[in-house]
Chains A and B, each alone.
Chain A
Amino acid sequence: MSLLQITNLRTWIPTRDGIVKAVNAVDLEIEDNEKLGLIGETGCGKSILGMSITRLLQPSTKIAGEIVYKGKDLLRLNEEEMRKIRGKEIAMILQNPTTSLNPVLKVGDQIAEAIRLHQGLDKRTARKEAIEMLESVKIPLPEKRANEYPHEFSGGMKERVMIAMGLACDPSLIIADEPTKGLDITIKMQIVKLMKEVTKQRSMLFITHDLGVAAKICDNIAVMYAGELVEYAKTDEIFKKPMHPYTQGFLNSLPNMGLKPIRGLSPSLIDPPSGCRFHPRCDYAEERCKNRHPEMLIIGNGHYVRCFLYD
């Protein structure tokens, strides 16, 4: 049995303008030790999917379906039971470390508090562990840095702190949301290397819009478009044989592939297009794409695609 099995997940967020259907009928599996990349453009629902797993969204959000982690459906747990999972079993490395670290608390304390909570350690031991965590993410002078505040850290160093925080309680699954966003290329590569190292013995859901980074870290890749998965395959396969027109467009828009943008704008999640959600932007769209919603098809060797072209 896989570590995490998501079945028919729907996350709907009520807003003033209508219900944002951010995640629609998503099925995903993460095996022990697997690194799964979840890619897609900004606003496609990938971060919401990540936060649905640990139920970190506003209380008004409706999450339906099943998220089975180690045999337990997380959506059926009460708040108290869920808290014991967060940070300890499933850790999140949230995007944007500058705003995700508390500006008025010392970095060491922010790492130590999760350790104290989940491992029941006293203050001093937890602090020592926190310093070790800082050391493990290669922050120089960890003992001194533990006593500093987030504003004294550079962007890359803050990201390392976020990673240390996520790893602090030795979680089985890490959900990393755009950990390389906004970092310059050298720092980005350092963080990628670090992520690879620290997740050797763990599973990870790696959310990103950066295909290059996903290629270096992930075993498998799921492509998300307008709240749905449109393609799923091994990482090599996605790069060698992208099948969904959206995935192809996404790859072609990379700088080293010609920098060709996909035409049109990403659709509204309140009122998504009928039929195939990608049809208004798709060069291969036919009549049926407008009316009928394509199902996920299996195209051999664990490659799935949601497109009528392969029907």
Chain B
Amino acid sequence: MLKYLLRRFLLVFVVVLGVTVVTFSVMHFTPGDPAEMIAIGRYGEDLTQKEIEWVRTTEGLDAPIYVQYGIWLNHLLHGDLGNSLITGDPVLSEILTRVPATMELAILSMILSLLIAIPIGIIAAIKQYSIIDNFSMIGALVGVSMPNFWLGLLLILFFSVYLGWLPVCGYGGFEHIILPAITLGTGMAAITTRLTRSSMLEVLSQDYIRTARAKGLSEKLVISRHALKNAFIPVITVIGLQFGYLLEGVVIVETIFAWPGVGRLLVDSIFARDFFMIQGCVLFIVIIFAFTNLLVDISYAYLDPRIRYQRRD
């Protein structure tokens, strides 16, 4: 068990390190001279070649690229992601002020999607081909097919503009988070519902379910004790992967609802060509994603003893 966790943790470390290489390279291989870009950020569009060269030497941009990477990584490890090219504020503190808003939205939409998906998926499986099953599968199909930005706009039109119940956009009280959370949550719920249903159906046809019934257990116990734990193993994987989808959705939904989170910061930075900020946001998103998957691996081990006791792959 400890070995398993250690191996997973090492894997996360490797992934994050790989991502630092990629984000760093992107910065350097994008067209345009980084020294020039930094200089533009600092001194405006009117530049002399001298100013650019001065930036190049002071920022260490004339050193070989692996040395630059080393320096950059060293700074990164000390929590220094550089300063925004636009505002000049440290990237890290800017991201950290945006994190709570994004996390609030991400976690609430995740909870919302699970609250919808898991019960409906289970009921749909138990009552296969019933009205409930058919309706939920149609609902899931609609949910999967509907793009986030479109659903978000529809919700704004109906609840904010037409009914006037909820604010159109912005950050503040609970009423502000309802529409963005629904927008993000329902799309994910659609996928999880389908998966919970099919996973549950498969488990219910297994021999050990028949064994459980042969013992005289009630249907409720058969499902709660024997079926659920097995059915959740694939569902957990997808929930982990969906967290990646969620961080991607956050970028769109935060933009639509003017939600002051990391996703919106990323979009704004891209438009402003604020490279250090983009780097920081991407790193943040990747690290969150990698750790979510670590969490998934840990819950795997909890759910499936065959993984827990595996000596080697």
Name A's B-contacting residues (CB within 8 A).
54, 56, 83-88, 91-92, 94, 96, 99-105, 113-114, 117-118, 149, 151-152, 162, 165
| Contact, CB under 8 Å: B207 / A100 | yes
Query: Which of A84, A94, A102 has the most C-beta atoms of chain B within 10 angstroms of its own C-beta?
Result: A102
| Contact, CB under 8 Å: B215 / A114 | yes
The interface-forming segment of B6-14, B29-37, B225-233, B291-299 is: B225-233
* Residue B305 at the chain A interface, CB threshold 8 Å: yes
| Contact, CB under 8 Å: B217 / A149 | no
List residues of chain A with CB within 8 A of the CB of B213: 56, 86
What's the nearest-Cβ distance from chain A to residue B20, in Å? 38
CB within 8 Å for A114 and B216 given contacts A102-B226, A105-B225: yes
Query: Which of B208, B218, B305 has the most C-beta atoms of chain A within 10 angstroms of its own C-beta?
Result: B208
List residues of chain B with CB within 8 A of the CB of A84: 216
List residues of chain B with CB within 8 A of the CB of A151: 305-306, 309
Q: List 30 A-B contacts (CB under 8 A).
A: A56-B213, A83-B216, A83-B217, A83-B218, A84-B216, A86-B214, A87-B216, A91-B214, A92-B211, A99-B207, A100-B208, A100-B210, A100-B211, A101-B211, A102-B211, A102-B226, A104-B230, A104-B303, A104-B304, A105-B229, A113-B215, A113-B225, A114-B215, A117-B217, A149-B306, A149-B309, A151-B305, A162-B211, A165-B211, A165-B215
CB nearest neighbor in A for B217: A117
CB nearest neighbor in B for A84: B216
| Contact, CB under 8 Å: B215 / A104 | no
Cβ proximity bits B196-214 to A, threshold 8 Å, 1 near / 0 not = 0000000000111011111
| Contact, CB under 8 Å: B214 / A96 | no
List residues of chain A with CB within 8 A of the CB of B229: 104-105
CB within 8 Å for A86 and B216 given contacts A94-B211, A105-B226: yes
CB nearest neighbor in B for A82: B216
CB within 8 Å for A118 and B216 given contacts A99-B207, A105-B225: yes
Distance A118 CA – B221 CA, assembled complex (angstroms):
14
In the complex, given contacts A83-B217, A117-B215, A118-B216, what are 9 additional A-B residue pairs having Cβ atoms less than 8 angstroms apart?
Answer: A56-B214, A85-B216, A87-B214, A100-B208, A102-B208, A105-B226, A151-B305, A152-B309, A165-B211
B: number of interface residues (CB 8 Å): 22
List residues of chain A with CB within 8 A of the CB of B208: 99-103
Top-5 shortest CB links A-B: A87-B216, A86-B216, A99-B207, A87-B215, A114-B215
Query: Which of B206, B211, B212, B217 has the most C-beta atoms of chain A within 10 angstroms of its own C-beta?
Result: B211
Name B's A-contacting residues (CB within 8 A).
206-208, 210-218, 221, 225-226, 229-230, 303-306, 309
What's the nearest-Cβ distance from chain A to residue B226, in Å? 5
CB nearest neighbor in A for B218: A83
| Contact, CB under 8 Å: A92 / B217 | no
List residues of chain B with CB within 8 A of the CB of A152: 309
Q: Which of A99, A105, A113, A165 contacts B217 (CB 8 A)?
A: A113
| Contact, CB under 8 Å: A96 / B207 | yes
Distance A86 CA – B306 CA, assembled complex (angstroms):
29
CB nearest neighbor in B for A88: B216
List residues of chain B with CB within 8 A of the CB of A99: 206-208
CB nearest neighbor in B for A162: B211
What's the nearest-Cβ distance from chain B to residue A177, in Å? 10
Distance A263 CA – B20 CA, assembled complex (angstroms):
70
| Contact, CB under 8 Å: B207 / A94 | yes
Distance A101 CA – B208 CA, assembled complex (angstroms):
5
CB within 8 Å for A94 and B216 given contacts A103-B305, A149-B305, A152-B309: no
What's the nearest-Cβ distance from chain A to residue B177, in Å? 36
Distance A149 CA – B230 CA, assembled complex (angstroms):
14
List residues of chain A with CB within 8 A of the CB of B218: 83
List residues of chain B with CB within 8 A of the CB of A54: 214
What's the nearest-Cβ distance from chain B to residue A238, in Å? 29
What's the nearest-Cβ distance from chain B to residue A141, in Å? 17
Distance A96 CA – B230 CA, assembled complex (angstroms):
19
CB within 8 Å for A86 and B215 given contacts A99-B208, A105-B225: yes
Distance A88 CA – B217 CA, assembled complex (angstroms):
11
CB within 8 Å for A117 and B216 given contacts A102-B208, A103-B230: yes
Q: Which of B216, B230, B303 contacts A102 (CB 8 A)?
A: B230
CB nearest neighbor in A for B209: A102
Distance A83 CA – B218 CA, assembled complex (angstroms):
7
List residues of chain B with CB within 8 A of the CB of A56: 210, 213-214
Distance A88 CA – B214 CA, assembled complex (angstroms):
10
Distance A91 CA – B230 CA, assembled complex (angstroms):
24
What's the nearest-Cβ distance from chain A to residue B306, in Å? 5
What's the nearest-Cβ distance from chain A to residue B299, in Å? 13
List residues of chain B with CB within 8 A of the CB of A103: 208, 230, 304-306
Distance A165 CA – B212 CA, assembled complex (angstroms):
10
What's the nearest-Cβ distance from chain A to residue B58, in Å? 60
Distance A149 CA – B305 CA, assembled complex (angstroms):
7
| Contact, CB under 8 Å: B214 / A94 | yes
CB nearest neighbor in A for B304: A104
Distance A114 CA – B214 CA, assembled complex (angstroms):
10
| Contact, CB under 8 Å: A104 / B211 | no
List residues of chain B with CB within 8 A of the CB of A87: 214-217
What's the nearest-Cβ distance from chain A to residue B173, in Å? 43
Distance A27 CA – B35 CA, assembled complex (angstroms):
93
Distance A91 CA – B214 CA, assembled complex (angstroms):
7
CB nearest neighbor in B for A96: B207
List residues of chain B with CB within 8 A of the CB of A117: 215-217, 221
What's the nearest-Cβ distance from chain A to residue B263, in Å? 37
CB nearest neighbor in B for A79: B219
List residues of chain B with CB within 8 A of the CB of A104: 229-230, 303-305
What's the nearest-Cβ distance from chain A to residue B134, in Å? 18
